[in-house]
Structure 1
Amino acid sequence: MPSTQFAIYTALAANLAIAATKFVAASVSGSSAMLSEGIHSLVDTLNEFLLLLGIKRSQKQPDENRPFGYGKEVYFYSYIVSLLIFSVGGGVSFYEGITHIQHPHAIEDPFWNYVVLGIAFALDGFSLLTAFKAFNAQRGKTPFWKAVKDSKDPSTFVVLFEDASDVLGLLIAFLGVFLGHELQNPYIDGAASILIGCILMGVAIVLARESKSLLLGEGADPEIRSQVRAVTQALKDSESLKSQLTFQMGPEQVVVIQQVCFNSNLNSEELIKAVAELKENIITQVAPVTHVFIEPVKG
């Protein structure tokens, strides 16, 4: 199983178990922050399902309706995930915090809250570590934020940001429950819920921005373009590369359109063979490239 999918399955299992225990603890203690965390984990569980669905659908073979394949499915579902984090996760948590401040309710017994938070922190921490390892394997030596911006596979950093917000939210929920109970101030618990909502909204905005860029269309990485250029120039019958356009159609699907000046001594049959050879060389030697269009032009 690819490391990206393993990270998603790990997060899915963790969030599903945690959501149930958080809701139980919230019903017992009446904690607003714990209820917000339960909603957060429930939304994250749905998000993992959507990411897995997007990955599965993106692997469908091209057909008459989608001749370039279904690679952008993963971009679409990643964008939907960011909207859910903002509206359901962040919005409901923010609303719950406001409601709790308007109608304060003291936490009666925080014991089960602490138990659930401890279990959740261990599970989410493991999930975060798994997602971080998967993202590190993908980015190599590229700086973190540059890797997020340049990544063509949003499923990896979506899970990473989700898990990071989970762990941070748990710490805030713990402080809200602890301080609210110790100081007998229910407003602190409500404020913690509002802060959790703000964090989720902030994460959602970052994810939506990156997913939107991929969904609307980005060119291939400079390294990929350079490799295609090198293969083109290596062909004995090509004299120069006049222009190059690339489109990222999926995490591992790139379309290349080039204008190439071939040897002027080639006859029609030889030119056709040279174009076909160049297409085959690019597809076989540059792994992400799936479609190549070559337009012969005069020098």
Structure 2
Amino acid sequence: MTDTTHRNDTAAGTGAPAASAQAGQAGQTPQASRTGSQKVIYAAIVANLGIATAKFIVAGITGSAAMVAEGIHSAVDTGNELLLLLGERRSTRPADRKHPFGYGKSLYFWALIVALSVFSLGGGLSIYHGVAALQAPPPLEDPLWNYVVLGVAAVFEGYSWNVSRKALNAVRKPGTTLWQAVRASKDASVFTVFIEDTAALLGIAIAAAGIALGQYFGNPYFDPAASILIGVLLVGAAFMLARESGGLLVGESIDRDQLAALYALFRREQALDSVASLRTMQMGPEDVLLAASVQFRRGMPIDEVEQAIARLEAAIAVEHPVIRHVYFEASALRAAMR
């Protein structure tokens, strides 16, 4: 294949210099996008750190198993956001000899580690603590401080959730739901925080319901049961995170609408006889690799082939700015020059 990226690499196997693609981007730039993702992470760190501290203090005073589960949840979320921040920073490292396509997939790797953390530390410990509390439930205590902390936690988690929601809405297509935006998102930082915060808000509701039902019926088993339900909720969230980040890590393509638009772009080029296939791979949130299997018109002079490649690169840079690496199969170029 021939690399025709904006780095002006030499075309492999043809001896012709690759044309330069425009680096400008329409709309939000990659730097602005990464800044927005980091804002989402910082908002989540501040919210979860304060909430975790308050939950553990109140859990120690009241002995509530549901509050312990909620404290574990917030503490795990805080650590997870720090891992995402590490992934964000590593993903921006420039390409080098060992990683010629850069480090963009580092973010997907750390997002997968976050999913494992949510599953084992968040879900596993919550279920374990709930089961242990069911065997020896603590006596019922005045739940006032539990409600206060849960209310404050809901406010902070709601703020963090809203920040990630706005980030998803910024890239959501018209007519699609927020969940569809999560599935389509290539930014692991944003959809991870959104899923975590959604699980956190649901967990707060479950904890409050468990404490309230225990007080209303005078039954200490509702509280540890709520802890188990919170753990099951976190396990479900972990599976969703693993599915989304794992798909990106192993090489997910751009979505169907973008791919269809890319085919239309190539078919507008008169120097092409046919477009056999366009294969894409997400290398990072704002970095896509494209391998084009096309057929140039036979007998084209090499300078006309270069001009056609330059036109395609320029059009791709304008209409699909996230595509940073463009390769043409060398057989297509050889056929054109016969």
Shorter chain as normaliser: what TM range? over 0.9
Answer whether contact 1:107 1:177 (CA < 8 A) is retained: no
**1:240 paired residue number:** 274
Secondary structure (helix, strand or coil) at the match of 2:171 reads helix
Q: Kindly provide the amino acid, as one letter, of the partner of residue 282 in structure 1.
A: I
Letter matched to residue 95 of structure 2: P
Aligned length: 299
Q: Which amino acid aligns with 1:46?
A: G
Within-5 A mapping of 1:1-299: 2-141=35-174, 142-295=176-329, 297=332, 298=335
Q: How far apart are the structure 2 equivalents of 1:151 and 1:178?
A: 37
Deviation at 1:281, TM superposition (A): 4.1
TM-score, structure 2 as length reference: 0.82
Using the alignment, how far apart are the partners of 1:171 and 1:228 within structure 2? 45
For the aligned residues, what is the CA RMSD?
2.0
Higher mean alpha-carbon deviation, 51-60 vs 187-196, is at: 51-60
More helix by share: 1
2:215 aligned partner, one-letter code: H
- C-alpha distance in structure 1 between counterparts of 2:184 and 2:92, whole Å: 21
Corresponding position of 2:4: none
Letter in structure 1 aligned against 2:190: T
* Structure 1 residue 148 displacement after superposition: 2.5
Deviation at residue 273 of structure 1 after TM alignment: 4.7
> What percentage of residue pairs aligned between the two structures are identical?
45
CA distance in 1, matches of 2:277, 2:207: 55
Q: Give the aligned residue type for 1:264.
A: R
Q: Distance in 2 between matches of 1:17 and 1:83?
A: 23
| CA distance in structure 2 between the aligned counterparts of 1:140 and 1:44, rounded to whole angstroms | 28
Q: Displacement of 1:276 after TM fit?
A: 4.7
Give, as a single letter, the amino acid of the residue that structure 1 aligns with 2:217.
L
Alpha-carbon shift at residue 137 of structure 1 (Å): 1.8
Tell me how far apart the structure 2 counterparts of residues 104 and 186 of structure 1 sit (CA, whole Å): 6
How far the C-alpha of 1:280 sits from its partner, in A, is: 4.7
Measured in 2, the distance between the counterparts of 1:64 and 1:51 equals: 25
Larger mean CA deviation between 122-131 and 29-38 belongs to 122-131
Residue 15 of structure 1 and its aligned partner are, at CA, apart by 0.3
SS in structure 2 of the partner of residue 138 of structure 1: coil
Question: Once the 2 structures are TM-superposed, how far is the Cα of residue 277 of structure 1 from its aligned partner?
Answer: 4.7
Can you give the 5+ residue segments of structure 2 that lack an aligned partner in the other structure?
1-31
**Structure 1 residue 191 displacement after superposition:** 0.5
Between 251-260 and 270-279, report the one with greater CA deviation.
270-279
Could you list the per-position Cα deviations for residues 214-248 of structure 1 after superposition, in whole angstroms to 9, with x for gaps in the alignment?
11111122233234333333334333323221111
Secondary structure, aligned partner of 1:139: coil
Q: What SS does the aligned partner of 2:276 have?
A: strand
- Return the letter of the residue paired with 2:325: H
Letter of the structure 2 residue corresponding to residue 161 of structure 1? I
User: In the aligned structure 1, how far is the partner of 2:303 from the partner of 2:152?
Assistant: 69
Indicate if the aligned counterparts of 2:93 and 2:102 stay in contact, CA closer than 8 A.
yes
Distance 1:279 1:132 in 2: 34
Letter of the structure 2 residue corresponding to residue 7 of structure 1: V
